[in-house]
Chains A and B, each alone.
Chain A
Amino acid sequence: MTSAAGGPDPHAGFGIGALLGLVNGQQGSAARRRRAEGKPVVPRFAEAAREALADAGARHELAESAAAARERTAAAVSELPDWEALRAAGAAIRDRALLDLDVHLETFEQAVADAGGTVHWARDASAARRIVASLVRDAGDGEVAVADGPVLRETGLAGSLAARGLAVLDASGPEGRDRVRAARVAVTGADFLVADSGTVLLLEADGAARACLTLPETLVCVAGLDRVVPEWEDMEVLLQLLPRAGRGDRLSPQVSAWSGAVPGDGPGEVHVVLVDNGRARILADEVGREALRCIGCGACSAVCPVYERVGERPFDPRGTGRSGPIGAVWTPLARGVDRAPEASLPFASTLCGACADVCPVKIDIPGLLVHLRGEVVDARRHRPVPTPELAVMRGVAWTMADARRFETATGSGARWARLLSRGGRIRRLPGLLGRWTEARDLTAPPAEPFRAWWRRRAPSRRSTK
């Protein structure tokens, strides 16, 4: 790109030497130290991706399943002539919910209380684990049925309950359902919360969680506080969008909805734990808050060409279960970009836009990635010594601020490049721009740039402004 053409322009104050730092400029010394000490390192995207790419078998499987998922969802979506209108409605419903999130959450809390349930608030993952553990202890005899789901994975709940000495029964396991019958307390996730009725909705493919919702005496539902919608009518749209975009189903095979506790019917005690865990931080970001529209369908991962090749792990450096393109925006928004793994995620994309095209609630994921790249760069501007990349990009901007400087840089870059080329091709670039020429040649720039040709051809137009 531009930097490759920029070359060692004597006027620009930057050159090949600076370009050499382009990639490794962000290598954290803390990460190097931890590695040297043999301590676990949370990998940056590029490192984890390199490992994932080396697993050819997994790559093949990923490609096959991604292709199948794309076909299924494309078919399910094309059945609906009003799909685009539904997407627009879905985005508007989620935006309306987020605009007055505090109001809707209070309404929800009141409605749950009126229906005989209790709402708990968890600021972060560890608070969620503490609250759930204490509810489980209060309710049971040490056995707890757990139906795993995204929020449970995000907060590390199942593992933490086991670590606290509780017998965790996996409701989704093969022997799950029978043993769940015996458990007096169950923990599940939740997909949506309806504020005006205090209803919790859970959508499933296999019905594993359904037994948890009816049989135990005490039910603990854990939900992200972003998943509230103002009223029941909103579900009409979301229940059409989620299954079709996510798994290519016309309907979710199992939709469970319950409001509070009804005597003699299902659990006598119902708790809803609302988890923040970075969501309030996302909401405070005027551009980034669009990410909270997410309804967790996974459509963005299914179409992502990067995800197709590297899978979940590189997108989810801390194992929170939120991966793919939405994970690459959600995690840095929720946790900040001060640390290298989070700061690497917004760059894990070619900005190809496939994800934005399929998102059922029209989240502009590429736009959010660019926004976060800006946050990463701005955070680095305050460093006492500028990163090599910042120096290069400033140099390029300075060069481009004047047409003559640009032409001078083009000329000197072309002279350098021709020294490195053979038969019009550059097969090896020095330093870290060598990452390009590891597998790709570069065309040697021509002796005459376009603007020189233009002047030669039409001298009378030289003054055209």
Chain B
Amino acid sequence: MRVALFVACVDDAMFPGTGRAVTSLLERLGHEVVFPADQTCCGQLHWTTGYRREAAGLARRFAGVFAGAGGTVVTPSASCAAAVRSSYRSIARAAGDPGLERAAAGLEVYELTEFLVDVLGVTDVGARFPHRVTYQPTCHAARALRVGDRPLRLLRAVKDLELVELPAGEECCGFGGAFAVKNADVSVAMVADKVRHVRDTGADVVCALDNACLAHIGGALSRLRAGVRTAHLAEILASTGDPS
């Protein structure tokens, strides 16, 4: 099957390993991956920070680029998938742009684990990852997309991976986009608790479906020299040995 890969702008610039992992994973499963080169940003940051005019411009652009690419869109970013699937309707309404609302409704966008489990019907993707891993259900994955246990089912099928549950996992890590700087004190208080829970699991690796949240958690772990690293779930699923 032909898949149009949407790599979030943050992932493109800061975490290119995630896009590479999705590409190699989907190709390993026998699918054709294309990367529409005109893609940039879905507009989520502008929308959630209150810049609706700018968000509408970016949403129109995104809808145009991916309508042109045709077929199924897959992204490793849960929050960007949620932005396109649910916020675009609000963006279009705020902008009084029914054309954008129709264009957004016509896009078929999946977050990676939804695509693997629901569309391809696989949970064992042939990965091997010999580490103790905990999974952070990020807010957009858990509550906007409701991916549920899909990520866990995929992780359980990874060879040599020891999965440990993260206590209070569904509580927000405190990132929240601009919140992390606008309300830095509260944000830091939240991530401090998240990091404490992560360390309590004794995991080597904490994974999630959003690199922005992982940058927040990982930034705090790194500052504390906690010896726990972060990895996008796609990187674990793409792995066939020890990537360290």
Tally of contact residues, A, Cβ under 8 A? 76
Q: Does A5 contact B (CB under 8 A)?
A: yes
Q: Contact check, B176 vs A436: say whether CB atoms are below 8 A apart.
A: no
Q: Does A203 contact B (CB under 8 A)?
A: no
Grouping DSSP codes into helix (H, G, I), strand (E, B) and loop, the B interface class, with mixed when no group exceeds half, is helix
Q: Does B234 contact A (CB under 8 A)?
A: no
Interface string of A415-449 (1 = CB under 8 A from B): 00000000001010000110110111111011011
Q: Does A377 contact B (CB under 8 A)?
A: yes
Q: Contact check, A436 vs B219: say whether CB atoms are below 8 A apart.
A: yes
Task: Given A348-B183, A350-B172, A406-B40, decide whether A309 and B54 contact each other with a Cβ distance below 8 A.
Answer: no
Nearest-Cβ distance from residue B61 to partner chain A, whole angstroms: 6
Bound: A402/B58 CA distance, A: 10
Interface string of B171-206 (1 = CB under 8 A from A): 110111111111111111111100000000000000
**Other-chain residue from B9, B54, B94 in contact with A394 (beta carbon distance below 8 A):** B54
Bound: A75/B190 CA distance, A: 25
Interface centre among A3, A351, A352, A461 (most CB of B within 10 A): A352
Q: Contact check, A450 vs B7: say whether CB atoms are below 8 A apart.
A: yes
Complex contacts, A396 vs chain B, CB 8 Å: 41, 45-46, 54
Nearest-Cβ distance from residue A70 to partner chain B, whole angstroms: 10
Task: Given A1-B45, A352-B139, A374-B94, decide whether A22 and B181 contact each other with a Cβ distance below 8 A.
Answer: yes
Interface centre among A305, A372, A451, A461 (most CB of B within 10 A): A305
Nearest-Cβ distance from residue B10 to partner chain A, whole angstroms: 6
Q: Contact check, B47 vs A370: say whether CB atoms are below 8 A apart.
A: yes
Complex contacts, A357 vs chain B, CB 8 Å: 143
Q: Contact check, B38 vs A453: say whether CB atoms are below 8 A apart.
A: no
Binds B, one of A10-18, A44-52, A146-154, A210-218: A44-52
Q: Contact check, A349 vs B219: say whether CB atoms are below 8 A apart.
A: no
Q: Does A145 contact B (CB under 8 A)?
A: no
Q: Contact check, B215 vs A350: say whether CB atoms are below 8 A apart.
A: no
Q: Contact check, A370 vs B20: say whether CB atoms are below 8 A apart.
A: no
Q: Contact check, A50 vs B16: say whether CB atoms are below 8 A apart.
A: no
CB closest residue in chain A, given B93: A287
Nearest-Cβ distance from residue A3 to partner chain B, whole angstroms: 8
Q: Contact check, B181 vs A352: say whether CB atoms are below 8 A apart.
A: no
Q: Does B164 contact A (CB under 8 A)?
A: no
Bound: A332/B104 CA distance, A: 30
Nearest-Cβ distance from residue A450 to partner chain B, whole angstroms: 4
Binds A, one of B29-37, B114-122, B127-135, B152-160: B29-37
Task: Given A433-B181, A436-B180, A465-B36, decide whether A442 and B11 contact each other with a Cβ distance below 8 A.
Answer: no
Bound: A93/B47 CA distance, A: 30
**Other-chain residue from B13, B46, B50 in contact with A5 (beta carbon distance below 8 A):** B13
Q: Contact check, B49 vs A377: say whether CB atoms are below 8 A apart.
A: yes
CB closest residue in chain A, given B11: A450
Q: Contact check, B216 vs A448: say whether CB atoms are below 8 A apart.
A: no
Q: Contact check, A374 vs B52: say whether CB atoms are below 8 A apart.
A: yes
Bound: A442/B15 CA distance, A: 12
Q: Contact check, B51 vs A393: say whether CB atoms are below 8 A apart.
A: yes
Nearest-Cβ distance from residue A18 to partner chain B, whole angstroms: 14
Task: Given A309-B190, A450-B12, decide whether A442 and B50 contact each other with a Cβ distance below 8 A.
Answer: no
Nearest-Cβ distance from residue A322 to partner chain B, whole angstroms: 19
Complex contacts, A76 vs chain B, CB 8 Å: none
Grouping DSSP codes into helix (H, G, I), strand (E, B) and loop, the A interface class, with mixed when no group exceeds half, is helix
Q: Contact check, A397 vs B50: say whether CB atoms are below 8 A apart.
A: no
Bound: A450/B123 CA distance, A: 26
Tally of contact residues, B, Cβ under 8 A? 75
CB closest residue in chain A, given B140: A353
**Other-chain residue from B13, B19, B140, B185 in contact with A49 (beta carbon distance below 8 A):** B185
Q: Does B144 contact A (CB under 8 A)?
A: yes
Nearest-Cβ distance from residue A463 to partner chain B, whole angstroms: 8
Complex contacts, A397 vs chain B, CB 8 Å: 46, 51, 54, 57-58
Q: Contact check, A45 vs B183: say whether CB atoms are below 8 A apart.
A: yes
Q: Does B166 contact A (CB under 8 A)?
A: no
Nearest-Cβ distance from residue A124 to partner chain B, whole angstroms: 28
Q: Does A300 contact B (CB under 8 A)?
A: no
Interface residues of B in 35-93 (CB under 8 A from A): 35-41, 43, 45-52, 54, 57-58, 61, 65, 68-69, 87, 90
CB closest residue in chain B, given A462: B37
Q: Contact check, A347 vs B182: say whether CB atoms are below 8 A apart.
A: yes
CB closest residue in chain B, given A357: B143
Complex contacts, B218 vs chain A, CB 8 Å: 441, 443
Task: Given A305-B172, A350-B139, decide whether A436 and B35 contact each other with a Cβ distance below 8 A.
Answer: no
CB closest residue in chain A, given B183: A46
Complex contacts, A432 vs chain B, CB 8 Å: 181
Q: Does B14 contact A (CB under 8 A)?
A: yes
Q: Does A291 contact B (CB under 8 A)?
A: no
Q: Does A139 contact B (CB under 8 A)?
A: no
Q: Contact check, B12 vs A410: say whether CB atoms are below 8 A apart.
A: yes
What 5 A-B pairs have minimum CB-CB distances, sorted nearest first? A350-B176, A373-B50, A440-B219, A352-B172, A377-B50
30 contacts between A and B (CB under 8 A): A3-B45, A5-B14, A49-B186, A53-B186, A306-B183, A306-B190, A347-B178, A347-B183, A350-B190, A351-B179, A352-B171, A353-B140, A374-B94, A375-B50, A377-B50, A393-B49, A401-B40, A435-B184, A438-B188, A439-B191, A440-B216, A440-B219, A440-B220, A441-B219, A442-B219, A446-B14, A450-B16, A450-B18, A451-B7, A451-B37
Besides A23-B184, A441-B223, 5 more A-B contacts (Cβ < 8 Å) are: A46-B184, A53-B189, A401-B58, A403-B38, A454-B35
Binding site for B on A (CB under 8 A): 1-3, 5, 22-23, 45-46, 49-50, 53, 59, 287, 305-306, 309-310, 346-354, 356-357, 367, 370-378, 390, 393-394, 396-397, 400-403, 406, 410, 413-414, 425, 427, 432-433, 435-436, 438-443, 445-446, 448-451, 453-454, 461-465
